[in-house]
C-alpha cells in the first residue's frame, strides 16, 4: 500500500514533515516565509532570492541567515552578497548555463543532505510560479530534473498555488483534508502524454490519456462528502511524470 503524502503539511502549525527550504528570486510572501523558515532543517537561497530575503527581514537579518546562497550571481546585489559572505553564509557560484540556478541549487542541497546525514521528508520551494511564464515553465522543468535526482518530494508554493510532480508507475495517495486546501486542483501532463486513473476528485479519470490538444484536467475539485465526514485521499496512477497542482486557502 502506498504511503499518504500531505502536500500542505509544511504550512500546518503542527505539521510533522522535516523540510528543506529553497527560496527563489521572487518576492517572498511573509506568511509563508516565517512558517517555512521556522520548520526548515536546511535553508537555501537561489541568487537574487538573497535580495528578497534581506529586504523581508530588514533590521533582523542576523536571525535569518541561510545555510548557502548559490547561482551564477547575475541577480544578487553586490552589497547583499558581501553582507551574507561576512556573516559566514556559504556562497557557491555555479556556472553551468544548461541548467537553471534552481536546478543547481537542488543538486547542492541533496549533496549537503547526504554529506551531513540530515533527515528530510520534503523539499519545499518558495516562489517560482509568478511573473514571467518562461520562468514558471523553468520551475516545472526543475521538478522533472529533481524527480531523477531524489526520491524526496519537491513541492513549489507561490501565492494561492502548490505544484508537485508525480512520479510514474507509482500509486500516489494525497491527503487533501488539512483545511488549507483551496477549492480547485488539476493534473497537467507537462512533458509527455500520461495515461491516468484517479479517485477522490469530482471529475475522476479512468485509464484516460491526458495530453495537450486532447484532455487536460484543469479546474477540477474534490469529491463532495457529507459535512460530518472527512474528505478521502486523492489517489492517482500515471505512466509518465504528471504535474499535480492545487489551490491553497489564504486565511
pLDDT of residue 186: 98
- Mark which of 110, 133, 159 sits at the end of a domain: 159
Shared-domain flag, residues 127 and 142: yes
pLDDT of 243 strictly over 50: yes
**pLDDT computed for residue 136 by the predictor:** 94
Instruction: Check whether residue 82 and residue 128 sit in a common domain.
Output: yes
Contact in structure between 70 and 93 (CB atoms under 8 Å):
yes
Domain limits at 63? 1-159
Identify whether residues 120 and 70 lie together within a single domain: yes
pLDDT at 140 over 50: yes
Q: How far is C-alpha 39 from the geometric centre of its chain's CA atoms?
A: 15
pLDDT tens digits for 204-218? 999 999 999 999 999
For the domain that residue 17 is a member of, what is the CATH number? 3.40.50.10240
Residue 2, pLDDT > 70, answer no
pLDDT tens, position by position, 99-111? 899 999 999 999 9
Q: Quick one: 120 and 180 in the same domain?
A: no
Q: How confident is the model at residue 1 (pLDDT cuts 50, 70, 90)?
A: very low
Residue with cell 556556472: 95
Same domain, 79 and 67: yes
Mean pLDDT of the region 20-31: 95
Residue 28 and residue 54 in contact, taking contact as beta carbons nearer than 8 Å: no
Domain match, 31 and 123 both: yes
- Asked whether residue 42 falls in the same domain as residue 89, the answer is yes
Q: What global pTM score does this model have? A: 0.94
Sequence-distant (6+) residues with CB within 8 A of 1 are none
Q: Among 120, 135, 159, which residue terminates a domain?
A: 159
Q: Stretch 181-197: mean pLDDT, rounded?
A: 96
pLDDT at 229 over 90: no
- Write down the number of H helices and E strands in the chain: 5, 15
Q: Tell me the pLDDT tens digit for each residue of 160-173.
A: 999 999 999 889 99
CA angle, residues 14, 15, 16, in degrees to nearest 5: 115
CATH number at 164 reads 2.60.120.320
Give the confidence band of 251 by pLDDT, cuts at 50, 70, 90: low
- Verify that 133 and 164 share a domain, yes or no: no
Q: Is the pLDDT of residue 179 over 60?
A: yes
Percent of the chain scoring above 70 in pLDDT: 99
Based on the fold, state whether residues 30 and 107 are members of the same structural domain: yes
DSSP state of 11: G
The number of folded domains in the chain is 2
- Pick the last residue of a domain from 134, 159, 184: 159
Amino acid at each position: 500500500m502506498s504511503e499518504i503524502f500531505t502536500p500542505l503539511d509544511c504550512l500546518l502549525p503542527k505539521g510533522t514533515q522535516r523540510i528543506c527550504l529553497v527560496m527563489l528570486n521572487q518576492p517572498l510572501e511573509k506568511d509563508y516565509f516565517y512558517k517555512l523558515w521556522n520548520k526548515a532543517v536546511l535553508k537555501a537561497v537561489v541568487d537574487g532570492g538573497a535580495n528578497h530575503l534581506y529586504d523581508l527581514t530588514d533590521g533582523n537579518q542576523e536571525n535569518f541567515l541561510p545555510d548557502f546562497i548559490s547561482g551564477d550571481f547575475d541577480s544578487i546585489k553586490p552589497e547583499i552578497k558581501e553582507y551574507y559572505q561576512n556573516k559566514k553564509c556559504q556562497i557557491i557560484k555555479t556556472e553551468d548555463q544548461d541548467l537553471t540556478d534552481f536546478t543547481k541549487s537542488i543538486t547542492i542541497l541533496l549533496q549537503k543532505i547526504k554529506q551531513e546525514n540530515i533527515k528530510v521528508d520534503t523539499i519545499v520551494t518558495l516562489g517560482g510560479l509568478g511573473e514571467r511564464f518562461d520562468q514558471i515553465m523553468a520551475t516545472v522543468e526543475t521538478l522533472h530534473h529533481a524527480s531523477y535526482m531524489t526520491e524526496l518530494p519537491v513541492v513549489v508554493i507561490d501565492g494561492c498555488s502548490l505544484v508537485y510532480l508525480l512520479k510514474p508507475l507509482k500509486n500516489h495517495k494525497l491527503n487533501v483534508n488539512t483545511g488549507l486546501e483551496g477549492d480547485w486542483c488539476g493534473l497537467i501532463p507537462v512533458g509527455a502524454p500520461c495515461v491516468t486513473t484517479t479517485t477522490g476528485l469530482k471529475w475522476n479519470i479512468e485509464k484516460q490519456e491526458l495530453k495537450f490538444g486532447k484532455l487536460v484536467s484543469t479546474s477540477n475539485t474534490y469529491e463532495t462528502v457529507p459535512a460530518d465526514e472527512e474528505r478521502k485521499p486523492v489517489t492517482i496512477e500515471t505512466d509518465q511524470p504528471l504535474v499535480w497542482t492545487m489551490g491553497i486557502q489564504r486565511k
